[in-house]
Amino acid sequence: MAYLIDTDIIIYSLKGHHKVQEWMLSTQNIPKYISVITYGELIYGARKSKHSERNMATANRIADLFPVIDINKGIIELFGDLKAKLEISGNRIDDMDLLIASTAIYMNFSLVTNNKNHINRIEDLTLEDWDI
């Protein structure tokens, strides 16, 4: 299995969080990817920061280290199915988080996130989560 790394884990890693860095090292031989949504969130954060150019370079370096998974028709179809099921059951999830989760399910990746409060309501999603 491979991992899809959520934005929060990337940010923790950039901030030098010990547990995240240990995990990255211990799983260095397992493929890791990011969603194009995560990449967009990193670009957004970089552009609004005080050190935009430096942070843009970091975002681009992350995209070099972790291949970026684009959203395709299958991911969007899964997103639509999941969003409908969740809303019918009264469980709304932010679209960006749901797109990232849909990508992980579609690609058969384990999603690495600390955002477990609502994402764990998604059926068929394999989570690698930490209480950071």
| Spatial separation of the C-alpha atoms in residues 10 and 6, rounded to whole Å | 7
Q: What are phi and psi of 32, to 5 degrees?
A: -130, 140
Domain-wise residue ranges, the chain? 3-129
130 has pLDDT over 70: no
- When pLDDT is cut at 50, 70 and 90, the band that residue 7 belongs to is very high
The CATH code belonging to domain 3-129 is: 3.40.50.1010
86 has pLDDT over 70: yes
pTM for this structure? 0.92
Q: For residue range 23-66, what is the model confidence (pLDDT) as tens digits?
A: 999 999 999 999 999 999 999 999 999 999 999 999 999 999 99
Contact present, 5 and 112 (Cβ < 8 Å): yes
